Structure 1
């Protein structure tokens, strides 16, 4: 199997597509009027996957960022009323993060914006092309799981 040159056309296409996806998602996010950044959106979506409110360290690990980055995101989301800090019921020194009703409402808006962005990005593809792309993306994502630098 031939590996593409890291500086070759395929790598450039992937980078161009990534930038395009980010631009389109950002535009749709702004259009939905929730007033949050893509990073804040990612934190809200991640938070929604927990059964019980997680600790900031749990969020940092899942998001693969340093804890300080999560603190900054939570501060902004708490200020806007989308999350709140709550004490852990078993250890008062531990603070957990939970979604508010406004945060859940924002997640619904974000979901609509992301679907709309995905529809725009994938519009030129047939159903068969989408299926093939999905399989290729699964391969790339799964292959990178657990690998180091």
Structure 2
């Protein structure tokens, strides 16, 4: 892959080459995903058959508080119908609840039930703690660049980005 003869510095002499960084990330990413998958789920959530798609939805509700289906859909970048189905499924299981918006009775606000909040927080805590440890030393601009880089990677892997593999 690399044609730089194993040189440690990039062309400008300031760090690893792109190929070195790609190699490191190709080795690192499977380990990260594997560790995330091995995060133990609290006993209270074991029987609920929660999938990775639920993790993002529950994260938004836990960290950002109750919100509408449309707000969740916008943040998750999926159709409101998709979120509505997930909310219905998790409501039937007693994880989420929907209530009327006091300001607009036509709207429904989705939130995590009181009994599910603690085990969900316990499930998400190791990942949040690890990300906080990794991101705290960075400047605001560096953190944003890191997040943007991961988004470009995700887009490229999904075939949606400008640098998608051919």
**TM-score, normalization by structure 2:** 0.59
Query: Which residue of the other structure, out of 31, 41, 49, is the alignment partner of 2:63?
Result: 49
Distance 2:33 2:110 in 1: 27
Query: Which residue of the other structure, out of 11, 20, 45, is the alignment partner of 2:31?
Result: 20
**TM-score, normalization by structure 1:** 0.64
Q: Which has the higher contact order (CA 8 A, sep 6+)?
A: 1
Structure 2 counterpart of 1:141 = 146
Q: Provide structure 1 residue ranges, at least 5 long, that are not aligned to the other structure.
A: 120-129
What secondary structure sits across from 2:73 in the alignment? helix
Query: Which residue of the other structure, out of 92, 107, 116, is the alignment partner of 1:94?
Result: 107
CA contact (8 A) 2:62 2:121 kept: no
Number of equivalences: 134
After TM superposition, the structure 1 = structure 2 runs for residues 1-149 of structure 1, keeping only pairs within 5 Å, are: 8-30=19-41, 32-33=42-43, 34-35=45-46, 36-51=50-65, 53-114=66-127, 118=130, 135=138, 138=143, 140-141=145-146, 143-144=148-149, 149=161
TM-fit CA distance, 1:9: 4.6
